[in-house]
């Protein structure tokens, strides 16, 4: 007859053979970090390494078939992504009642909260840094055919509380794979960040993310949204009809190069909106292009330069 210790060893061996794994075998669950649509986000610590992570706990009972499909799409996209400015998926666990998604722990809150703490005032240099980080992440996604479709400050998390913390794109629930010559008509997104072609119910492609990047960059530089009002209809009208306003304070103090980037990204006609390679090659981002040349020793290999991952990128277990 097996004693308790031998029995546990046999059970562990059987679990490995059949591919069974339990979240609680690997992680110690800690305090609640936040609340999501289908459950909680918990802090956790890996039992062997001591590494801090965040665990998204989702109740299957609260999810419809459509919700499950969206969640599966997000998981598949996160599995593919290995970029320093996109949240990293570390592990996935599932049982009959719950899905557990283990991700890197980002302790700085979302970009909106980061800006709110600073009364929405950041230097142009810092705005440029954050805009460039977002642009390279979007370039990476688009290279794999992924349109995020809901880029906004609430879906961008800060790696830490530090003033110069890196930012990372999260929440791929509305993302979609769009081929090179494909378009979509699905309504989506958050009004103040949605491109005109979506509001007009016209076919759109991945360039909707460039519009959202333009809105966020404009916000970083000016403290306000380019198209905003208390009435949703007026926000939609402004988005479709009005040019962005660069006449009020602090715009006279902002560089022409920064205004050029915002103007390019906030082009109403999606066919005239420049691709990310052109945006990243604009003068405002010249210092990053120079750094890329020094790193790669060539003007080529943009994909490699814009998709370099951190050396300690965690892998899916």
Instruction: Give CA torsion, residues 270, 276, 277, 283, to 10 deg.
Output: 100
Q: How far is CA 26 from CA 33, 51, 218, 240, in A?
A: 19, 11, 43, 51
**What are residue 96's phi and psi, to 5 degrees?**
-65, -25
Report d(CA 316, CA 190) in Å as an integer. Answer: 31
Q: What angle do CA 220, 117, 149 make, to 5 degrees?
A: 45
DSSP annotation of 184 = B
Which one from 91, 110, 150, 171 is the annotated catalytic residue? 150
Q: Which residues are paired to 168 by β-bridges? A: 157
Task: Say which residues have a Cβ less than 8 Å from residue 19's Cβ, sequence separation at least 6.
Answer: none
Report d(CA 82, CA 281) in Å as an integer. Answer: 23
CB 213 within 8 A of CB 236: no
* Helical pair 124-143 and 208-222, crossing angle rounded to 10 deg: 170
12 tagged catalytic: no
DSSP 145-200: TEE----SGGGEEESSSSTT--EEE---TT-EE--TT--B----S-GGG--HHHHT
Q: Which two tokens stand for residue 6?
A: 């031998």
Report d(CA 254, CA 178) in Å as an integer. Answer: 35
Other Cβ atoms closer than 10 A to 246 = 17
| Catalytic (active-site) positions | 150
């Amino acid at each position: 007859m097996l004693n308790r210790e031998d029995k546990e060893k046999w059970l562990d061996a059987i679990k490995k053979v059949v591919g069974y794994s339990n979240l609680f075998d690997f992680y110690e669950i800690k305090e609640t970090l936040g609340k999501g649509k289908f459950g909680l986000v918990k802090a956790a610590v890996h039992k062997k390494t001591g590494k801090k992570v965040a665990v998204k706990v989702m109740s299957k009972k609260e999810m419809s078939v459509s919700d499950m499909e969206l969640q599966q799409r997000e998981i598949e996209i996160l599995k593919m992504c290995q970029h320093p400015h996109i949240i990293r998926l570390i592990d996935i666990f599932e049982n009959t009642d719950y899905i557990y998604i283990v991700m890197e722990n980002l302790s700085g809150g979302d970009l909106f909260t980061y800006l709110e703490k600073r009364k929405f005032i950041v230097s142009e240099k810092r705005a440029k840094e954050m805009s460039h980080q977002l642009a390279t992440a979007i370039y990476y996604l688009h290279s794999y055919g992924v349109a995020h479709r809901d880029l906004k400050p609430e879906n961008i998390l800060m790696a830490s509380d530090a003033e110069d913390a890196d930012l990372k794109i999260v929440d791929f629930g509305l993302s979609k794979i769009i081929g090179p010559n494909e378009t979509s008509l699905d309504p989506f997104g958050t009004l103040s960040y949605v491109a005109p072609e979506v509001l007009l119910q016209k076919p759109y492609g991945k360039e909707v993310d460039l519009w959202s990047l333009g809105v966020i960059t404009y916000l970083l530089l000016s403290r306000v949204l380019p198209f905003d009002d208390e009435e949703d209809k007026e926000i939609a009208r402004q988005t479709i009809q009005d040019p962005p306003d660069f006449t009020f304070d602090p715009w006279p103090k902002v560089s022409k190069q920064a205004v050029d980037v915002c103007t390019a990204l906030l082009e109403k006609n999606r066919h005239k909106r420049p691709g990310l390679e052109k945006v990243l090659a604009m003068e405002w981002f010249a210092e990053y292009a120079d750094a890329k040349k020094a790193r790669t020793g060539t003007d080529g290999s943009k994909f490699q330069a814009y998709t370099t991952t951190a050396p300690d990128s965690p892998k899916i277990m």
